[in-house]
Amino acid sequence: MNFVEELRWRGMIQEIMPGTEEQLQKELTAGYVGIDPTADSLHIGHLVGVMMLKHLQRAGHKPIALIGGATGMIGDPSMKSAERKLLDEETLRKNQAGIKKQLEKFLDFDSDAPNAAELVNNYDWMKEFTFLDFIRDIGKHLTVNYMMAKDSVRKRLSSESKEGMSFTEFSYQLLQGYDFLHLYQEKNCRLQMGGSDQWGNITTGSELIRRTIGGEAFALVCPLITKADGGKFGKTESGNVWLDSRYTSPYKFYQFWLNVSDDDADKYIKIFTDISKEEIDSLIAEHQKAPHRRSLQRRLAEEVTTMVHSREALEAAIEASNILFGNSTADALRKIDEETLLQVFEGVPQFTVSKEKIAEGVKALNLLTEDAQVFPSKGEMRKMVASGGVMINKERLNSFDELIDSNYLISNKYILAQRGKKNYFLLIVE
């Protein structure tokens, strides 16, 4: 597999340094992507860089994931209007451990092959560096003029920027440049990859390598991922979509991909999966014939959820989705955990019912009209029960006199009422 060609048809190359493709065709090449450990989980905004490393390894080259322990203490000014909050070492180490665990799902760190993935942390080589050593040995190779010409710096120093830029942030590209130099010298790493907002920092690194030791290094960046409607990719109303299930459940994760637009699905399935070109072309053609079936979104959601979580987590997410949108059973409802249940029924009307009342047992007619206003009147409820349109916990209510007691509780706390096909009500028993 030709790595550059693979990224090109997937729409994952915005800029590439001359000679990069030739270098990769010539020999096994180590390439890296830097990740600042600002949290103990990656979010889907990181996935593009991770997929670049995955494709690099698939093409027979060596991926290096660099955790920016040192640079994470500073913060990258690229594409940001204000300075980032700085982190202490303990927090950074915790974040690194969480990120490594996630990267292991995408990259093979354990094989004996020459292209086994590696994880490095720039804090390990920066912590011994004194400020004086750094400005003497590294800082002298790049002029301020060169550094100020970069877009990430220019934008922050322009008259439009209210914040200005601290010296700490200004030094960031020099530190990132030194990472590239260090990996070039220690790991024979010839390639750095990242998002297009990193182009300035990455080329500073290749220039530093050229000026200090006369070496040749290469750069490749992908476009910043956007949504077709212009909104920010990877953000929902509740914030980032995380890879860690503690922050974004597999159900919510699956739903995010399932609900992307047709145009975005077309783009994302190339970027966020390793499905072949032939199969993707066939999936897109199939989707275009019947877009209402959302087969492209479905396949995208399945692939990414399995890759990030597991096949079991995917099946549980599909099962949970079917509760609301498909013909699921009472068993499926009882199987899902409390957190997922609340996420599935987020936004549906909720009523609180006394635990004592349910323990004693209450007629369905009274429960759904007096204790919870699922129906405006008893007459209306009787009519709908007679026509088979009332469900309790996904099972048809056969009699309005049926006694609802503690045996009906889901997760020992909830009862799900349904009026007609689409009107759900969640009764919280406490």
Secondary structure of the chain in HEC code, one letter for each residue = CCHHHHHHHCCCCCEECCCHHHHHHHCCCEEEEEECCCCCCCEHHHHHHHHHHHHHHHCCCEEEEEECCCHHHCCCCCCCCCCCCCCCHHHHHHHHHHHHHHHCCCCCCCCCCCCCCEEEECHHHHCCCCHHHHHHHCHHHCCHHHHHCCHHHHHHHCCCCCCCCCHHHHCHHHHHHHHHHHHHHHHCEEEEEEEHHHHHHHHHHHHHHHHHHCCCCEEEEECCCECCCCCECCEECCEECECCCCCCCHHHHHHHHHCCCHHHHHHHHHHCCCCCHHHHHHHHHHHHHCHHHCHHHHHHHHHHHHHHCCHHHHHHHHHHHHHHHCCCCHHHHHHCCHHHHHHHCCCCCEEEECHHHHHHCEEHHHHHHHHCCCCCCHHHHHHHHHCCCEEECCEECCCCCCEECHHHCECCCEEEEEECCCEEEEEEEC
96 and 20 part of one domain: yes
173 and 242 part of one domain: no
Burial class (CB in 10 A: 0-12, 13-18, 19+), 383: middle
pLDDT of residue 79: 43
Final residue in a domain of this structure, among 198, 222, 246:
222
> Is a pLDDT exceeding 50 seen at residue 218?
yes
The count of structural domains within the chain is: 3
Which of 94, 141, 197, 355 is catalytic? The answer is: 197
pLDDT of residue 83: 46
Which of 58, 211, 227, 235 is catalytic? The answer is: 235
Which of 20, 29, 43, 306 is catalytic? The answer is: 43
> Is a pLDDT exceeding 50 seen at residue 81?
no
* Annotation says 176 is catalytic: yes
* Predicted TM-score (pTM) of this structure: 0.84
Cβ atoms of residues 418 and 404 within 8 Å: no
Share of the chain above pLDDT 70, in %: 93
Identify the domain containing residue 322 by its residue range: 235-331
Q: What's the mean pLDDT in 194-217?
A: 92
Residue 286, domain CATH: 1.10.240.10
* Annotation says 80 is catalytic: yes
* Annotation says 236 is catalytic: yes
pLDDT digits (tens, 9 = 90+) for 323-373: 877 677 788 888 888 888 888 888 899 999 999 999 999 999 999 999 999
pLDDT digits (tens, 9 = 90+) for 45-76: 999 999 999 999 999 999 999 998 887 666 55
Asked whether residue 342 is assigned to any structural domain, the reply reads no
> Is a pLDDT exceeding 90 seen at residue 219?
yes
| pLDDT: which is higher, 102 or 166 | 102
pLDDT band at residue 161 under the 50/70/90 scheme: low
Considering 66-70, 79-83, 272-276, the range whose residues carry the highest mean pLDDT is 272-276
Which of 20, 96, 176, 192 is catalytic? The answer is: 176
pLDDT of residue 140: 76
68 and 187 part of one domain: yes
269 and 361 part of one domain: no
Residue 409, domain CATH: 3.10.290.10
* Annotation says 38 is catalytic: yes
Query: Which amino acid, one-letter code, is at 99?
Result: I
pLDDT of residue 321: 86
| Among the listed residues 426, 33, 11, 410, the one whose alpha carbon sits nearest the alpha carbon of residue 222 | 11
96 and 154 part of one domain: yes
Q: How far apart are CA 76 and CA 176, in angstroms?
A: 9
Mean pLDDT of the chain: 89
Q: How far apart are CA 69 and CA 192, in angstroms?
A: 17
* Annotation says 62 is catalytic: no
Which of 29, 40, 46, 244 is catalytic? The answer is: 46
Region for 28 from its dihedrals, namely left if φ exceeds 0, alpha if ψ lies in -120 to 50, beta otherwise: beta
252 and 358 part of one domain: no
Asked whether residue 227 is assigned to any structural domain, the reply reads no
* Annotation says 264 is catalytic: no
178 and 261 part of one domain: no
159 and 28 part of one domain: yes
Which of 26, 101, 154, 232 is catalytic? The answer is: 232
* Annotation says 197 is catalytic: yes
Q: How far apart are CA 206 and CA 192, in angstroms?
A: 9
Q: What's the mean pLDDT in 299-303?
A: 98
pLDDT digits (tens, 9 = 90+) for 166-196: 776 777 788 888 999 999 999 999 999 999 9
16 and 92 part of one domain: yes
pLDDT of residue 159: 60
67 and 216 part of one domain: yes
Q: What's the mean pLDDT in 228-235?
A: 78
Tokens of 288: 């275009």
Asked whether residue 339 is assigned to any structural domain, the reply reads no
Choice among 43-57, 234-248, 376-390, 413-427 with the minimum mean pLDDT: 234-248
Q: What is the CA radius of gyration of the chain?
A: 27
209 and 296 part of one domain: no
> Is a pLDDT exceeding 90 seen at residue 78?
no
pLDDT of residue 362: 94
* Annotation says 226 is catalytic: no
Which of 58, 80, 100, 210 is catalytic? The answer is: 80
150 and 196 part of one domain: yes
Q: What angle do CA 134, 137, 143 make, to 5 degrees?
A: 90
pLDDT of residue 408: 93
